[in-house]
Amino acid sequence: MSEKCSAANKGIFCAAVRANKQLGQRFYRLGLEFSGAGAEVFANFKPGQFVELDVSGTALPPAEAIPEDLVDVSGRKVLLRRPFSFCDVTAKKNKTFVEILYCVVGPATLRMTTLAAGDSVSIIGPLGNGFWVPESKKRALLVVGGMGAGPLEHLAKVFTADYPDMEVIAFAGAKTVKELPFEARLDEISQQLGFSLGEFAKYGIESLVATDDGSAGFAGLVTDCLSEWLGKSDLAGENMIIYGCGPEQMLAQVAEIAKDKKIDCQVSMERMMACGIGVCQSCAVECRVAGSNETVYKLCCEDGPVFESREVVF
Ligand SMILES: Cc1cc2nc3c(=O)[nH]c(=O)nc-3n(C[C@H](O)[C@H](O)[C@H](O)COP(=O)(O)OP(=O)(O)OC[C@H]3O[C@@H](n4cnc5c(N)ncnc54)[C@H](O)[C@@H]3O)c2cc1C
Ligand code: FES
């Protein structure tokens, strides 16, 4: 993890569905199992890397289970694979178990809700470059916006296992408490500012929750919560690192804060991805060229999705 990690052994693999648990109105955790060559390859999957999932042959849920705002798009054919990160990876003996935290937003994710134990799914991966950990950092701040939770939950696990001396704190934000993709009891979250989210607490990591409407935790943007927290921090910027995953607007603000406080920062950029393997050029990210005023376009799927924030033109 100290080096940038790439998708050296990517391939097409078949995964068996173990569970598909609904967390909230729109959130699910899909548990998958790889055996054989897939188990070996995905045992080394890095936080922030992603896979392309094929759900073209997966059934839609019954009409009454389709949210009203998705009725019109639900019938659309899902020809292209869809990109997803893993929120958990566990290698045991000759199997690798992974989980995808997903939000139902359109025809593919709607179909994913009908996957059940025993089904199998075709997966291309591992793809892209994940997060990396530069030497000499003492504190890592994980900044989650909405569905950005998955890869940072995975990163939290890696920190606990491989970097026991790193102090890690998670900041999780969403518009409202109902849009926080966690299993914690929402009434408990809303009563406490420094509520410890179970998904991070299980790795011994403290978490702070922020909601735009004040329905849980800090009332305001997660980036305001981060700024306020940093204002009280005693550690020099060079000893810290920020990892961000969430909507682009949030990442842009995280990048600003990091620049202002002279903290290294990595962001996982989300782009619409048609192929996921560098062929279609649909996922371009404008990046600065070091030491010049020029910019170049890099591919989110191949060069990212994780970039140093100072590199990205938001
Ligand atoms: C590298 C990467 C990792 C991802 N990891 C996860 C994850 O762990 N969990 C998860 O729930 N989702 C993740 N996504 C987003 C996920 O791929 C989309 O939600 C999914 O493709 C939607 O498919 P759909 O057919 O259900 O909806 P679509 O009809 O394809 O999309 C519905 C709406 O969602 C928005 N949208 C879809 N894809 C993206 C995108 N890539 N960036 C910004 N907006 C988008 C668009 O506004 C679109 O109109 C990831 C995306 C990328 C690029
Ligand atoms: S998604 Fe096709 S080139 Fe990146």
CATH number for the domain including 26?
2.40.30.10
Residue 64: which residues within 8 A CB-CB, separation 6 or more?
none
Joined together, the tokens standing for residue 166 give 């790193």
Contact 15, 38 (CB under 8 A): yes
How wide is the angle at C-alpha 59 spanned by C-alphas 55 and 63, nearest 5°?
130
CB count, 10 Å around CB of 285?
21
For 39, 96, 151, the CA distances from 201, given in Å and listed in that order, are 27, 23, 16
User: What six digits make up the tokens of 127?
Assistant: 């793809």
Q: Tell me the pLDDT band of 2, cut-offs 50, 70 and 90.
A: very low
CATH at 196: 3.40.50.80
pTM: 0.94
Sign of the dihedral through C-alpha 179, 180, 186, 192:
negative
Q: Is the CB of 105 under 6 A from ligand 2?
A: no
- Residue 245's identity, in one-letter code, is C
Q: Are residues 302 and 214 in the same domain?
A: yes
- Average the pLDDT over each of 26-30, 98-102, 158-162, 234-238 and give the range with the smallest value: 234-238
Indicate whether 218 pLDDT > 60. Answer: yes
Adjacent-strand bridge partners of 29 = 21, 101
Average pLDDT value for residue range 34-51 = 95
Total domain count, the chain: 2
**Quick check: is 277 in a domain?**
yes
* Ligand number with the minimum distance to the CA of 248: 1
Q: What is the CA(173)–ligand 2 centre distance, in A?
A: 28
Domain contains 4: no
**Does 80 sit in the ligand 2 pocket, CB within 6 Å?**
no
Coil, helix or strand for 46? Answer: coil
Q: Ligand 2 centroid vs 284 CA: distance in angstroms? A: 8
Between CA 128 and CA 151 the distance in angstroms is 13
Mean pLDDT of 166-193: 80
Do 271 and 187 lie in one domain? The reply is yes
Q: Would you say residue 3 has pLDDT above 70?
A: no
Q: How sure is the predictor about 185, in pLDDT bands with cuts at 50, 70 and 90?
A: low
Is the pLDDT confidence value at 193 over 60?
Answer: no
Is beta strand 206-211 parallel, antiparallel or unpaired with respect to 167-174? Answer: parallel
Residues 94 and 233 in one domain: no
Q: Which domain holds residue 268?
A: 139-311
Asked if residue 182 lies in contact with residue 172, where contact means CB atoms within 8 angstroms, the answer is: yes
Mean pLDDT of 291-307: 95
Q: What is the mean pLDDT of residues 202-221?
A: 90
Atom of ligand 2 minimally distant from the CA of 301: 4
Residues 198 and 293 in one domain: yes
| The pLDDT of residue 215 | 87
Ligand nearest to the CA of 284: 2
242 Cβ below 6 A of ligand 1: no
Distance CA 21, CA 101 (A): 10
pLDDT at 43 over 50: yes
Least confidently predicted of 41-45, 100-104, 158-162, 214-218: 214-218
Same domain, 77 and 166: no
Last residue within a domain, chosen from 102, 127, 152? 127
299 near 278, Cβ under 8 Å? yes
Between 115-119, 135-139, 185-189, 271-275, the lowest mean confidence (pLDDT) is in 185-189
> What is the pLDDT averaged over residues 88-116?
96
Spell out the alpha helix ranges (H) of the chain. Answer: 36-43, 71-74, 107-112, 149-162, 186-191, 198-201, 222-231, 248-260
Q: Which residue has the higher pLDDT, 285 or 135?
A: 285
| Cα–Cα distance, 179 to 211 (Å, whole number) | 9
The answer to whether 183 and 28 have CB atoms below 8 angstroms apart is: no
Residue in the block written with tokens 């950005």: 148
pLDDT band at residue 186 using 50, 70 and 90 as cut-offs: low
